Chains A and B, each alone.
Chain A
Amino acid sequence: MDRGSLPLIYFFIITLVFAYFFIYGLIGWNALLSFSRSLGLKIAFEISGFEQYLKMIHDPVFWVSIRNNLILISVFIPACIALGLFLAILLDITGGRGEAFFGRLYLLPFSLSFVVTASMWAWMYNYVYGVINTILSILNLNIRVNWLGNPDIALYSIVIVLLWQFSGYACLVILAGIKSIPESQFHAARIDGASTFQVYSRIVLPQIKFWIFSIFVVLMVFALKAFDLIYVLTNGGPGVSTYVLALLMYRRGFFETDFQYGAALANILYVLVMAIVVPYLLITLRKR
């Protein structure tokens, strides 16, 4: 480190200060707001203890939201990983240009904005005109499913959309993991007598555990902070059946302008996400 590096370091420090302020500074401010009592339209805080958090516990939609987030975690994540694994193995077996071409195709939805996805699928799921119901009626199955209007299944309709959007990513990461295994091990296993299934289950799978773990963390974080898609697609409806934590925060905090309560909800969201991410980063850095 010489004197010539000072301009760069100053620049770095300045941007760092901005970044840290806007990240940790504002989070801290948000936390303070969460411990304040509600002040109408003012974004200011007068500390009054756990008032907002108590409000949370008594808010029925809060519990609905938590439940929905848990459903996302327990249904969406395993399904997405399984689908990604299936696709990755299929692609790995195919190899060559097919692998590259289809791999990128499946990844396309992942690059889309959630607003676009929501818009597309709102149309796909439309009860009267939508593609899915139309296909079902063509097949003479005589079912028309109220994908987004039936409170019992709306959340699962959303899960399907998420699978469509994220499976390409899961596939990408897993495939990268598979590719990191030297080809000679594949050959050795075949010569040792292993069938394709055995090669993937005994040789590949145990070695990609870490890659799957990283997808798990990414999906977990998403499942906790999901907002955009649900806001545009169902806005929590029908009723409150598809509410999630982030959406509730938006509604209470902005729509109903209870900023301090919104801050509390956001704070909970933040804590949950950090509980996942911090251990993950520590483990990853230790491995390096």
Chain B
Amino acid sequence: MHIILSLIALIYLLPFWTVFTTAFKDSVEVRTSIPIVPPSNPTIDAFMKGSSEMLRGIMNSLIFTSLATIFSSMIGSVNGFVLSKIRFKYCDTIFLLLTLGIFIPYHAIIIPLIAVMRGIGLFNNLLGLAIIHTIYGIPICTLIFRNFYGEIPESIINAAKVDGARTTTIYRKVVLPLSWPAFVVSAVFQFTSIWNDLLFGLILTRGANQPASVVLANLLGTTAAEWNVQMAGTFMYAFPVIAVYVLLSKYLIRGYLAGAVKG
């Protein structure tokens, strides 16, 4: 059985392998050798060639992705708490409408968004990008935390109330310390989604402010002949996400199963 699974695994891993081998080949070998075969003279030429733009792109991505991840997670935590532990009228409807926001195609808001960003002077701006990603991350982070807090028994909250704590205190001292798994899920999921995003970067930024995803996409258009450069760029861009996956897939999977979807 393991044999069958391994054969299937080879098919899934093949593209990764070709990226890996091609990225380390020099320009001659790229054209002459079979892609599956590892490089005979591994070099990091390819990495050097496209590096300045790619690294700048990666820097940009790191900045707004980290900011947006942190802030959307924090917001999600508060919102999740309010929606699950502080019940009030229309609570469910509000939540439903918010959850719908997870599924909307960003194409449907992107044109007005340009006008808004230009209007407040945050167009082509990393901070602006961070804010946008934070806002559009609110629905999914709220969902993750609301589900998580739903699992915390009412009795703990009630015990704290009887002990005399106010709700804000309960949140800070009782709920928040328990929340770290949800924070990890939210952070991992948001980091991956925002890092992987293309559309916002494509339309809302230019030149030096572009995230790595856009840089890579442009690379494919221009240096089509130099596949090793292309693959090197792909490798650099994909690396953080793959690293996160290898280390923290458990949390990412929880996110996926909570109803979080990609794209």
Say yes or no: A12 contacts B105, CB within 8 Å. no
Say yes or no: A102 contacts B5, CB within 8 Å. yes
Say yes or no: A110 contacts B262, CB within 8 Å. yes
Q: How far is the CA of A221 from the CA of B104 in the complex (A)?
A: 9
- Give chain A's interface residue range (CB within 8 Å of chain B): 35 or more
- What chain A residues lie within 8 Å of B192 (beta carbons)? 111
Question: Closest 3 A-B residue pairs measured CB to CB?
Answer: A4-B166, A113-B196, A5-B167
- What chain A residues lie within 8 Å of B252 (beta carbons)? 111
- Give chain B's interface residue range (CB within 8 Å of chain A): 35 or more
* Extra A-B contacts (16), CB below 8 Å, given A22-B135, A33-B111, A115-B198: A8-B82, A12-B79, A15-B75, A19-B135, A26-B109, A27-B108, A30-B109, A87-B8, A106-B8, A119-B230, A121-B15, A123-B230, A221-B103, A249-B107, A265-B107, A273-B105
- What chain A residues lie within 8 Å of B244 (beta carbons)? 111
Contacts A/B (CB < 8 Å), 25 sampled: A1-B86, A4-B167, A5-B166, A5-B167, A15-B78, A19-B135, A19-B138, A24-B97, A27-B104, A27-B108, A98-B5, A110-B256, A114-B198, A115-B198, A115-B213, A116-B216, A117-B15, A120-B16, A172-B256, A172-B257, A270-B104, A274-B100, A274-B103, A277-B103, A281-B99
Which of A59-67, A73-81, A181-189, A223-231 contacts the other chain? A223-231
B98 at the interface (CB under 8 A from A): yes
Q: How far is the CA of A254 from the CA of B110 in the complex (A)?
A: 10
B101 at the interface (CB under 8 A from A): yes
A 212-250 binary contact with B (CB < 8 Å = 1; else 0): 001000100110111110011000000000000010011
Cβ 8 A contact of A123, one of B5, B19, B111, B242: B19
A124 at the interface (CB under 8 A from B): yes
- What chain A residues lie within 8 Å of B12 (beta carbons)? 105-106, 108-109, 164, 168
Q: How far is the CA of A172 from the CA of B254 in the complex (A)?
A: 11
Q: Which residue of A lies closest to B238 (CB)?
A: A116
Q: How far is the CA of A266 from the CA of B249 in the complex (A)?
A: 34
Chain A interface residues toward B at CB < 8 A = 1-5, 7-9, 11-12, 15-16, 18-20, 22-24, 26-27, 29-30, 33, 43-44, 87, 90-91, 93-94, 98, 102, 104-124, 126, 129-131, 134-135, 138, 164, 168-169, 172-173, 176, 214, 218, 221-222, 224-228, 231-232, 246, 249-250, 253-254, 259, 262-263, 265-267, 269-270, 273-274, 277-278, 281, 285
Cβ 8 A contact of A231, one of B9, B217, B256, B263: B217
- What chain A residues lie within 8 Å of B217 (beta carbons)? 115, 118, 231-232
Say yes or no: B14 contacts A131, CB within 8 Å. yes
B 1-45 binary contact with A (CB < 8 Å = 1; else 0): 110111011011111101100100000001100111000000000
Known: A8-B168, A104-B249, A116-B237. A16 touches B107 (CB 8 A): no
- What chain B residues lie within 8 Å of A1 (beta carbons)? 86-88, 167
